[in-house]
């Protein structure tokens, strides 16, 4: 794999601008789940222990170019301090004179976390001047945000045009190695499981996986766009209307390889911000009531997916089966996780 790794760099005394994925759930101003912070720790510690001056940047949520105090990354700085056992400085923005001063104040082995990149619309627009301003903070650039590395945003793609030396972090290196082995030399049956909210972010993944896998399981919110392509009623469930035709094309291409849920957990009441849902009713996917939203896969789907997973020899999983942030609608995602763990034990 001819890609430069952070382990190839001499970071001592250098300003290392590192893209991480700290898009974590927050509750009452605190990090509710620190798994993504922990995933970044090996690269963070690698740089700090070798005397790098580390500048971390991430997005959180979808503030859509506006300052949303509830989506500040400050709680991540607090949580990261506890995990690292050393101070984590925090900047109230990600570009500008105050940020430049905070970076200049860093000593070897110290770390600074920038404020939410998406408080600037220029981040998702991949604005060259915004990318240039980010790059001006750095001597070296490291991308360790595997979950967002595919997005052509200023902090992932744009910045690389303005920093001479760019490398992947240890998390990205590990993920690419695992995924490369799975795709190039899979033991069969080879099963991929794709979930998450939107089909638009997974179109290329689905298209590229279909020729390689034996089965491709679809779950999560994007499944409802496929149901719509079949002409079924989906009530108030999440749908990408402009991707329905594409979903139909993928169904035709995938044939029996493409496996959709057969039932879902529906509710007439859903408040994501408050982490609340109404009474859940297992419902066949072709019979979702007009007033209801599908929020998780149902028991019949879980059983069907478990059987396919149990027979697999290679498994690749990306994305949840439902609104896993809420306990009541996390059962499908946890069932798949448990089936994956059982398959791995075998």
- pLDDT for 204-260, tens place per residue? 888 889 999 999 999 999 999 999 999 999 999 999 999 999 999 999 999 999 999
Place 55 in a pLDDT band, splitting at 50, 70 and 90. Answer: very high
Domain of 124 in residue numbering reads as 6-173
* Same-domain pairing of 194 and 109: no
Q: What percent of the chain has pLDDT over 90?
A: 87
Nearest Cα residue to 323 out of 277, 289, 282, 286: 277
Predicted local distance difference test score (pLDDT) of residue 208: 87
Neighbours of 104 (CB within 10 A): 10
Say if residue 296's pLDDT is above 90.
Answer: yes
Task: Report how many domains make up the chain.
Answer: 2
Nearest 10 degrees: CA dihedral of 232, 238, 240, 243?
Answer: -50
Predicted local distance difference test score (pLDDT) of residue 147: 82
Least confident of 9-23, 42-56, 137-151, 296-310: 137-151
Predicted local distance difference test score (pLDDT) of residue 121: 97
* Same-domain pairing of 239 and 331: yes
Using alpha carbons, list the distances in angstroms from residue 203 to 225, 247, 334: 12, 9, 24
* Same-domain pairing of 205 and 158: no
Residue 120 sits in a domain of what CATH number?
3.40.50.1260
HSE-up of 2 (CA within 13 Å, CB side)? 0
Each residue of 14-34: pLDDT tens digit? 999 999 999 999 998 999 999
Each residue of 93-145: pLDDT tens digit? 999 999 999 999 999 999 999 999 999 999 999 999 999 999 999 999 999 99
Find the helix or strand (DSSP H, E) in which 276 lies.
strand 276-277
Place 306 in a pLDDT band, splitting at 50, 70 and 90. Answer: very high
Tell me, yes or no, whether 136 lies in a domain.
Answer: yes
Two tokens, residue 328: 């009541």
Predicted local distance difference test score (pLDDT) of residue 273: 83
Which of 139, 173, 207 terminates a domain? The answer is 173
Predicted local distance difference test score (pLDDT) of residue 175: 87
Task: Provide the greatest CA pair distance for the chain.
Answer: 62
* Same-domain pairing of 273 and 211: yes
Nearest Cα residue to 195 out of 205, 187, 184, 181: 205
* Same-domain pairing of 202 and 147: no
Each residue of 180-191: pLDDT tens digit? 877 888 999 999
339 contacts: CB under 8 Å, gap ≥ 6: 305, 306, 309, 310
Say if residue 1's pLDDT is above 60.
Answer: no
* Same-domain pairing of 253 and 167: no
Q: How many helices (H) and strands (E) does the chain have?
A: 11, 17
Predicted local distance difference test score (pLDDT) of residue 299: 97
Which of 147, 173, 199 terminates a domain? The answer is 173
Gap between the Cα atoms of 333 and 5, Å rounded? 32
Two tokens, residue 147: 């979950």
Nearest 10 degrees: CA dihedral of 92, 96, 100, 102?
Answer: -10
Say if residue 270's pLDDT is above 80.
Answer: yes
Q: Where are the alpha helices (DSSP H) in 85-200?
A: 97-104, 121-124, 128-135, 170-184
Hey, is 31 helix, strand or coil?
strand
CB-based contact 198:221 (threshold 8 Å): yes
């Amino acid at each position: 794999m001819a890609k430069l790794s952070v382990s190839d760099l001499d970071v001592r005394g250098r300003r290392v601008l590192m893209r991480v994925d700290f898009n974590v759930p927050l509750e009452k101003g605190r990090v509710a789940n620190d798994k993504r912070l922990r995933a970044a720790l090996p690269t963070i510690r690698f740089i700090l222990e070798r005397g790098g001056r580390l500048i971390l940047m991430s997005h959180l949520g979808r503030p859509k170019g506006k300052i949303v105090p509830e989506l500040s990354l400050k709680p991540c700085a607090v949580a990261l301090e506890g995990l690292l056992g050393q101070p984590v400085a925090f900047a109230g923005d990600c570009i500008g004179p105050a940020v430049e001063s905070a970076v200049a104040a860093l000593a070897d082995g110290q770390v600074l976390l920038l404020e939410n990149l998406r408080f600037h619309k220029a981040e998702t627009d991949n604005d060259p001047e915004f990318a240039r301003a980010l790059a001006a903070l750095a001597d070296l650039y490291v991308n360790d945000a595997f979950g967002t590395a595919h997005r052509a945003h200023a902090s992932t793609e744009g910045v690389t045009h303005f920093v001479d030396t760019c490398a992947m972090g240890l998390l990205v290196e590990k993920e690419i190695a695992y995924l490369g082995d799975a795709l190039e030399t899979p033991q069969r049956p080879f099963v991929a499981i794709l979930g998450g909210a939107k089909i638009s972010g997974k179109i290329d993944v689905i298209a590229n996986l279909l020729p390689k896998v034996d089965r491709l399981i679809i779950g999560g919110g994007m499944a409802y766009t496929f149901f719509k392509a079949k002409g079924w009623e989906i009530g108030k469930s999440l749908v990408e209307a402009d991707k329905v035709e594409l979903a139909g094309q993928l169904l035709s291409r995938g044939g029996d390889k493409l496996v959709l849920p057969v039932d879902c957990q529906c509710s007439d009441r859903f408040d994501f911000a408050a982490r609340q849902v109404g009474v859940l009713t297992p419902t066949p996917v072709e019979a979702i009531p007009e007033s209801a939203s599908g929020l998780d896969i149902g028991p019949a789907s879980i059983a069907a997916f478990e059987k396919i997973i149990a027979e697999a020899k290679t498994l690749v999983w990306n994305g949840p089966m439902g609104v896993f942030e809420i306990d009541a609608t996390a059962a499908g995602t946890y069932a798949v996780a448990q089936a994956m763990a059982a398959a791995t034990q075998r």
